[in-house]
């Protein structure tokens, strides 16, 4: 989490020097997970294909996870004496179905095999996605008991990965928990996300006007959806909480936990508020573009009762803070 985050002091503590290995450590969520564990007192090893920016709160291990087999991953976990393993790696939007399967299914299965063979029994925290659920009726809070029925390739690939983790946990092969996470925003949100794209567009508008150039127009698909959002730093807090939660004897079903804001936000209003906070008269045009991978789910709101009960977790960052911090980090 950032040094300026006033909620840093509330980060759950872990045993000093707890060995934590985070896969996907240079990604949007992974970097914040590493920072949260480091702030809580853990010894963090971040695994990624590329070197991290200087100043990140982990010791980097450069490894192409797409090429690393279970044996290589198991040796890494054994060498680091990992007690917690976080899977924040994987493929997201804008890639092929083959890449989605490689990043979200095959990598996860190899990681499960590696954790099972590592010689220790680390807690595996796997980051799933709300898109695993698919369509739900409006104004219905999604509980973990809902039978998943994803409607796009991303959701299907994430579901297969989550099922691999949950299946291994039920069989007693690994000590694992899956966090099914809603749409994530906040500082450093990537350009590939809706709000990250808009924040970057606002930065471009500001630069254009400073140079006396015409401001670019932002064209978006119709903003009809209501979606659940959660700050990336709250997600990181949930991961830390999941790493330390007492799950033995709780039954296999509680190994799946929703992480979200618990509220369906009007996406159009959210976009308008982000633009207002940017202080720019940016022009946005909504136009039908033939749909998209995410546009086929109009309502998302998760029930976070299990997260409160099992992890002692609930989101703490208000929407206004998340949007302001997003704007402050957009380039």
pLDDT, residue 131, reads 96
Task: Give the chain as a 3 state SS string.
Answer: CCCCCCCHHHCCCCCCCCEEEEECCCCHHHHHHHHHHHHCCCEEEEEECCCCCCCCCCEEEECCCCCCCHHHHHHHHHHCCCCEEEECCCCCCCCCHHHHHHHHHHHHHHHHHHHHCCCCCCEEEEEEEHHHCECCCCCCCECCCCCCECCCHHHHHHHHHHHHHHHHHHCCCCEEEEEEECEEECCCCCCCCHHHHHHHHHHHHHHHHHCCCCCCCEEECCCCCEEEEEEHHHHHHHHHHHHHCCCCCCCHHHHEEEECCCCEEEHHHHHHHHHHHHCCCCCEEECCCCCCCCCCCCECCECCHHHHHHHCCCCCCCHHHHHHHHHHHCC
Tens-place pLDDT, residues 241-258: 999 998 876 666 779 999
Tens-place pLDDT, residues 198-213: 999 999 888 988 898 9
Q: Which residues are catalytic?
A: 154
pTM, entire model: 0.93
Delimit the domains of the chain by residue range: 8-185+230-262+302-316
Tens-place pLDDT, residues 122-156: 999 999 999 999 999 888 899 999 999 999 999 99
Homologous superfamily of domain range 8-185+230-262+302-316? NAD(P)-binding Rossmann-like Domain (3.40.50.720)
Residue numbers of the chain with a pLDDT score lower than 50:
1-4, 9, 292-293
């Amino acid at each position: 989490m950032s040094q300026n985050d006033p909620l840093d002091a509330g980060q759950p503590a872990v045993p000093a020097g707890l060995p934590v290995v985070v896969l996907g450590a240079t990604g949007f969520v992974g970097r914040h997970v590493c920072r949260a564990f480091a702030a809580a007192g853990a010894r963090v090893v971040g695994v990624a294909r590329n070197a991290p920016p200087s100043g990140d709160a982990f010791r980097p291990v450069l490894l192409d996870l797409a090429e690393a087999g279970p044996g290589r991953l198991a040796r890494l976990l054994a060498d680091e004496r990992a007690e917690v393993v976080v899977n924040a790696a994987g493929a997201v939007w804008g890639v092929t179905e083959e890449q989605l399967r490689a990043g979200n299914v095959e990598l996860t299965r190899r990681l499960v095999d590696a954790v099972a063979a590592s010689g220790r029994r680390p807690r595996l925290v796997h980051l799933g996605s709300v898109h695993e659920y698919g369509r739900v009726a409006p104004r219905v809070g999604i509980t973990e008991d809902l039978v998943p029925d994803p409607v796009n390739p991303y959701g299907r690939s994430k579901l297969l990965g989550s099922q691999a983790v949950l299946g291994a946990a039920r069989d007693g092969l690994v000590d694992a928990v899956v966090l099914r996470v809603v749409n994530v925003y906040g500082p450093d949100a990537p350009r590939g996300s809706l709000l990250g794209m808009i924040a970057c567009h606002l930065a471009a508008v500001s630069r254009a006007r400073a140079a006396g150039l015409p401001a670019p127009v932002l064209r978006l698909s119709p903003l009809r959806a209501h979606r659940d959002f959660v700050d990336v730093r709250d997600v990181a807090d949930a991961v830390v909480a999941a790493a330390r939660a007492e799950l033995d004897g709780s039954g296999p079903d509680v190994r799946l936990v929703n992480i979200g804001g618990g509220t369906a936000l009007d996406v159009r209003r959210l976009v308008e508020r982000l633009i207002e906070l940017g202080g720019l008269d940016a022009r946005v045009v909504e136009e039908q573009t033939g749909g998209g991978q995410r546009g086929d789910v109009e309502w998302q709101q998760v029930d976070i009762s299990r997260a409160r009960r099992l992890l002692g977790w609930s989101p703490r960052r208000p929407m206004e803070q998340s949007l302001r911090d997003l704007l402050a980090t957009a380039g």
